[in-house]
Amino acid sequence: MFALTNRNEVNLDMNKTVKRLLIICAVVIACCVGCKAILNNILTAPLVKDGYQNEFEYKGALEKKYAYNGTFAVDSLSVVSSDEAIKRFHVWFPSELKGSTKKWPVVVMANGTGVLATRYIPIFEHLASWGFVVVGNQDGSSWFGNSTSASLDWILEQNTTSDSPFCGKLDTEAIGLAGHSQGSVATFYAATQFDNAKYYKAICSMSGNFPDFAQSIHTPVFLIGGTNGLDAKAIDGMNECFGKIDSQPVVMGILKDTDHGVVLPRGDAYMTAWLLFYLQGDKQAGKCFYGDDAEILTNPAWKEVMRKNFANLE
């Protein structure tokens, strides 16, 4: 009887232990699922909000004009890519394009670290509202320019694909390139290390630099930086890039009191003006940068503004 009772107690203890282990496993699994969900939310949450312009005080009249949306309504589409890094190509474009016979300028965007195109949709929509076809992808590591170059190849292919909504509607003589943070480095790679780099007619590079390729730049460049965090460390490299770009118009400016993560939405106004001037011939947008009274030179929100190779514009 004693042995039987002891065996029952052992069985009960074993059952309790198994239950405890099952509960622990369930908790661990729940935590893992929860952590994965939290991580996924962090990695996919929007970094630029609708109406982001209302968060800033624009000091220049033209800066304020180009900060807000243009006159075009905007549509978008998304296409699966066979490249696992890219995942999908995303395009934002003026709605008018679908029934139009005109050719539209293009802007290719290079992503920052982990900043997929779908995390800053308002920036794409803003550019599209000013008459650009804007192309991005879902690559979270754009550094070497491969995915950026692939985006350009893809949109150029759409221009000659009969069943594409963009067939015959893209101005291949008016293609711009822009990127922030790691995407800024990608702009230097994409603009110099790929055969299709010849298509770029204007570049805006934000919060990053890559002096090794700066001397090979064949396209007008606008360099934008902030003052705080990572940007404070990037300024020396930006200055070096500015110095090495010796055959093209180049402007460099630093946004005062601006953190790294805010440079893209805050600098978006002059980025838009830069692209409008070089890709659409918008002379008013050009007044932000050229002439003795160029707005950016006296805009109190900006500092350390430098220009060179602008004699041909004035």
Predicted confidence (pLDDT) per residue in 182-209, tens digit: 999 999 999 999 999 999 999 999 999 9
2 or 71, which is more confident: 71
Q: Is the predicted pLDDT of residue 120 greater than 70, yes or no? A: yes
| Residue 183 main-chain phi, psi, to 5 deg | -65, -25
Q: Is the predicted pLDDT of residue 12 greater than 80, yes or no? A: no
% of residues, the chain, pLDDT over 70:
84
DSSP string, 54-106: GGS---SHHHHHHHS--S--EEEEEEE-S-TTT-EEEEEEEGGGGG--S-EEE
pLDDT of residue 282: 97
* pLDDT one-digit tens code per residue, 53-111: 999 999 999 999 999 999 999 999 999 999 999 999 999 999 999 999 999 999 999 99
Amino acid at 218: H
Model confidence at 310, pLDDT cuts 50, 70, 90, reads: confident
160 or 18, which is more confident: 160
Domain assignments of the chain as residue spans, ordered by start: 1-45, 50-313
Q: Please give the mean pLDDT across all residues of the chain.
A: 89
Summarize the confidence of residues 29-53 as an average pLDDT: 59
Q: Three-class SS of residue 176?
A: strand
pLDDT of residue 312: 54
- Full-model pTM: 0.86
* pLDDT one-digit tens code per residue, 222-236: 999 999 888 988 889
User: What separation in angstroms does the CA of 154 have from each of 79, 88, 91, 92?
Assistant: 10, 11, 11, 14
Summarize the confidence of residues 117-135 as an average pLDDT: 97
**Residue corresponding to tokens 């006296």:** 298
Q: Is the predicted pLDDT of residue 16 greater than 70, yes or no? A: no
Q: Please state, in angstroms and rounded to a whole number, the distance separating the CA atoms of residues 42 and 174.
A: 35
pLDDT of residue 21: 64
Does CATH number 3.20.80.10 belong to domain 50-313?
Answer: no
Q: Is the predicted pLDDT of residue 3 greater than 80, yes or no? A: no
End-to-end CA distance of the chain: 107
CB 178 within 8 A of CB 200: no
Model confidence at 32, pLDDT cuts 50, 70, 90, reads: very low
pLDDT of residue 33: 45
150 or 14, which is more confident: 150
